Structure 1
Amino acid sequence: MQPRSRHRITVDIPVVVTTVLDSMEGTIVDLSEGGAQVAGCGLPVRSQCQIDYEGHVVFGTVQWSEEDRMGIRFPYELADGPLFDRLEIARAARLTPTALQPRTLGARPAGGFGRRFG
């Protein structure tokens, strides 16, 4: 098994997964440019499907599947569209420091962990 080339970002995106024979609702729970994990539905491994989100379609192949979730690999990396926009928003939110814990430059951390200051 090869390591992932892209880091997946946790998201919560309701989608419709469609095959030739069926359509089912699911939720993308993690996403990268190269693939997604969809919870709430499952298809057989190697199934071809499409993910419908906000009127746009992304094609994919099921790489692994369990009863209620599956991993889908995209043949073409996401580079635009609403799913890519949601990925960028989630990635930016993950990298932005929280406003609840402001940090001051040069401030020394309190407590006994980390480097000791004397």
Structure 2
Amino acid sequence: MQIKRSRERIVVDIPIVVTTVLDSLEGTIVDLSEGGAQVVGCTLPPRSQCQLDLDGHVVFGTVRWSEEDRMGIRFPYELVDGPLFDKLELARGGRRSPVPFQPRFTAPAMGGGFGRRAV
């Protein structure tokens, strides 16, 4: 069953620290949106409250689902600023930026092109 999401998830690779009242775990965000993230490399039980720490900036969340080595975290407030939002925007921009036009090499008017002998 496909779930209709209100925000587009963007593929990222962001190492973070997930902290609870009892523990700190290292993980990696592999997809991110303004409303939540999928974290691999660690897991917590569903409905656990946690915080994601990136470069000293904290984002709070609740574990919505959990598997053996990954979990989905929903943010109570959408990301609108901070380092995590900046990385999301950077990943989103890189994905949408067009490939710049590169004109083909044209030979100079005199003497032929590169690597060719002048006749």
Between structure 1 and structure 2, the one with the greater Rg is 2
SS at the partner of 1:61?
strand
Structure-2 residue corresponding to 1:29: 30
User: Deviation at 1:65?
Assistant: 0.4
Partner of 2:45: 44
Aligned letter for 2:69? D
C-alpha deviations, 1:39-70, integer Å up to 9, x for none? 00000000000000011000000001001000
Query: Structure 1 length normalisation: TM-score?
Result: 0.82
Aligned-residue CA RMSD (Å): 1.6
Structure 1 runs of 4+ aligned residues shifted over 4 Å read none
Q: Deviations over 1:3-62 (max 9, x none)?
A: 210010000000000000000000000000000000000000000000000110000000
Work out the CA distance in 1 between the residues paired with 2:67 and 2:102: 43
Gaps of 5+ in 1: 105-118
Aligned residues: 102
Secondary structure of the corresponding residue to residue 80 of structure 1 = coil
Within-5 A mapping of 1:1-118: 3-99=4-100, 102=101
SS in 2 for 1:90: helix
- In the aligned structure 1, how far is the partner of 2:12 from the partner of 2:47? 24
Question: Which AA in structure 1 matches 2:46?
Answer: V
Partner Cα separation in structure 2 for residue 72 and residue 103 of structure 1: 42
**Letter aligned with residue 83 of structure 2:** P
Shift of 1:103: 8.1
Q: Deviations over 1:54-111 (max 9, x none)?
A: 1100000000100100000000000000000000000000001235xx489xxxxxxx
